[in-house]
Amino acid sequence: MRRLNADIIIAALLLVFSGVLLAATFAFQSPPLFHFSIRTWPRAVAGTLAVLSFVYLVQSLARGGRERREPFVWRAFLAANRNVITCFALFILFLATLPIFGMLIGGILFVYATFALLGGWNDLRTQAINAAVTVFFVGGMWAVFTFALRVILPGGIFHI
């Protein structure tokens, strides 16, 4: 008999969750004169989640309870997940300063800080490339949302 491990339980819960999401899409009503179903995108996301959860469940069942778990150590966890924790901390800082800097300046600072902290402070050329890529892509996305899609983004105190 196979042992239930955390992976099997989480995969099963994700399958149930994706099933609930898929079932909820049947209650969506498309507005009149709408060219495509409003259910399409949510069903695609929930269906992808269901497929990936099923793959996760199959892999977990194939592996069973054979893996040996090491005892949990905070220092090892923090060392192994340093980049993830750094990204979350930077994103929380971005959200906290969003009312002050706004979407454009805050986004540029967030992406550049992420590049600098995760990519290292190599040399001036690397930092110039990081700055150029940051300004081009964050500024481009801001322009698309602001001018093409007419989305009102947070301006902040120091907005442009």
pLDDT in tens, 25-42: 888 877 777 677 788 889
d(CA 86, CA 92): 10
pLDDT value, residue 146: 92
pLDDT at 84 over 60: yes
pLDDT value, residue 119: 82
pLDDT value, residue 128: 92
**Is the residue at 153 inside a domain?**
no
- Are both 87 and 144 inside the same structural domain? yes
Amino acid code (one letter) for 143: A
- Are both 58 and 82 inside the same structural domain? no
Could you tell me if residue 135 is left (phi over 0), alpha (psi between -120 and 50 degrees) or otherwise beta?
A: alpha
- Please identify which residue in the block is written with the tokens 């409003």: 38
Mean pLDDT, range 42-61, rounded to an integer? 93
pLDDT value, residue 6: 82
- Are both 54 and 83 inside the same structural domain? no
**Is the residue at 103 inside a domain?**
yes
**Is the residue at 159 inside a domain?**
no
pLDDT value, residue 41: 86
- Are both 14 and 48 inside the same structural domain? yes
pLDDT at 2 over 60: no
Range of the domain at 38: 6-63
**Is the residue at 39 inside a domain?**
yes
- Are both 82 and 141 inside the same structural domain? yes
- Are both 52 and 111 inside the same structural domain? no
- Average model confidence (pLDDT) for the chain? 88
pLDDT band (50, 70, 90) for residue 73: confident
**Total structural domains within the chain:** 2
Report yes or no: 42 and 28 within 8 Å, Cβ to Cβ: yes
Residue 47, number of CB atoms within 10 A of its CB? 14
pLDDT value, residue 98: 93
- Are both 49 and 97 inside the same structural domain? no
pLDDT value, residue 68: 66
- Are both 58 and 17 inside the same structural domain? yes
